[in-house]
Structure 1
């Protein structure tokens, strides 16, 4: 056995040297360092391989996230375009067929000036803007509304409201039997404005022949 390039001297307890022991110790130490170096290199290679694999996994996940995000954006764009077409068709249909309604009012007794007077199923409801109680403006423009009230309640009637604003009053006054009254209003509305009826007094017994009409005139 020989260890080229390494020299070592081992001293015994009695002060004498043992060349054979020195060579064995030197060769043993050299072989251990070689093993440590090999283990370190193998460990570093495994770490490098694991890091490479993790980078590949992260890259794949990021690519999947991008594809998913692009897919969601695409789906949202399609839904927005669909809704635009629906709104456009609704406005087109309303413009072509006109907007207006007529409904007989429900035979009922109202006991508060904050009540909203209800109507029966509309006789006419082009544009479907009247829901049986409230007309909601679908298209900006000039509108005309008319209410006719028939009641046996004294000192009563019905207000036409726009949002929270009182517009015109159909006042029935006093009488021994049924009294009638009617009123109209022309007003410019914006999209979302609401027009409806409320009692003039805290008591209003409406006959079923009372009616409410509204129509877009310009």
Structure 2
């Protein structure tokens, strides 16, 4: 009786050992086969060709299904992450625009042609940009006194006005947006002093430039009383 029990236990242990060994050998063969440079042996080929036990096949099916599900989940996570990144970039762009609008909500400048003393500019054969040297106000620093150009810091509606002086000659100045001529102020004075003025409200994009140009074959006059001026301000952003 004892001998029979011992033999049964030995048989069960041997069976379990064989199944474990088969699984181990199979997994090792999978690792070896995954290497493109590995060479299989006849013994390994013979082991691969042998039918696998049902429990091992079931286990492999479960593993394959789990791997496939994980791949699908990873793909969806990547798509979701890309959508979240695009959403965050859009929000950051909107926040940046809002910050810019808040920072430049106050823009205004007033300048005159003469920094000191009496001056006469022109005449020139072609249009010439007027550089107003005397800066009275430049809130937002949008006017450049070195170039005479105003650069819009943000999209919005801006209003501009300019006054020009003539002293015994013809004077004319045109308001220019980028390369487009908007309005012309003109004054002809045969003797004595005279002035002319004009104004315009423009829709500007951020980066647009606005400036005054002296009309060909005309002159511009100014003195310490600052008769010739150029002003602009932001009315509201858009």
TM-score by length of 2: 0.51
Question: Cα distance, 1:152 vs. partner?
Answer: 1.5
Question: Where do 1:16-165 residues align within 5 Å?
Answer: 91-95=101-105, 98-106=106-114, 107-112=119-124, 113-132=126-145, 133-165=148-180
Aligned residue in 2 for 1:216:
234
Aligned length: 133
SS of match in other structure, 1:146: strand
Between the aligned partners of 1:164 and 1:211, the Cα distance in structure 2 is 21
Between the aligned partners of 1:198 and 1:144, the Cα distance in structure 2 is 17
Aligned residue in 1 for 2:203:
188
TM-score by length of 1: 0.55
- Is 1:144–1:215's contact at 8 Å kept on the other side of the alignment? yes
SS of match in other structure, 1:176: coil
Between the aligned partners of 1:205 and 1:189, the Cα distance in structure 2 is 27
SS of match in other structure, 1:123: strand
Question: Cα distance, 1:120 vs. partner?
Answer: 1.7
1:72-124 Cα shifts (integer Å, max 9, x gaps): xxxxxxxxxxxx999976653222xx111000113341232421101123111
1:117-159 Cα shifts (integer Å, max 9, x gaps): 0112311111100001000010100010000011225232111
- Is 1:153–1:203's contact at 8 Å kept on the other side of the alignment? no
Question: Cα distance, 1:214 vs. partner?
Answer: 0.4
- Is 2:143–2:150's contact at 8 Å kept on the other side of the alignment? yes
Between the aligned partners of 2:100 and 2:134, the Cα distance in structure 1 is 22
Aligned residue in 2 for 1:206:
221
SS of match in other structure, 1:149: strand
Q: What is the alpha-carbon root mean square deviation over aligned residues?
A: 2.3
SS of match in other structure, 2:103: helix
SS of match in other structure, 1:138: coil
Unaligned runs of 5+ in 2: 1-92
SS of match in other structure, 1:171: strand
Whichever of the two has the greater Rg, that structure is 1
Between the aligned partners of 1:163 and 1:206, the Cα distance in structure 2 is 25
Question: Cα distance, 1:175 vs. partner?
Answer: 2.7
Between the aligned partners of 2:100 and 2:120, the Cα distance in structure 1 is 34
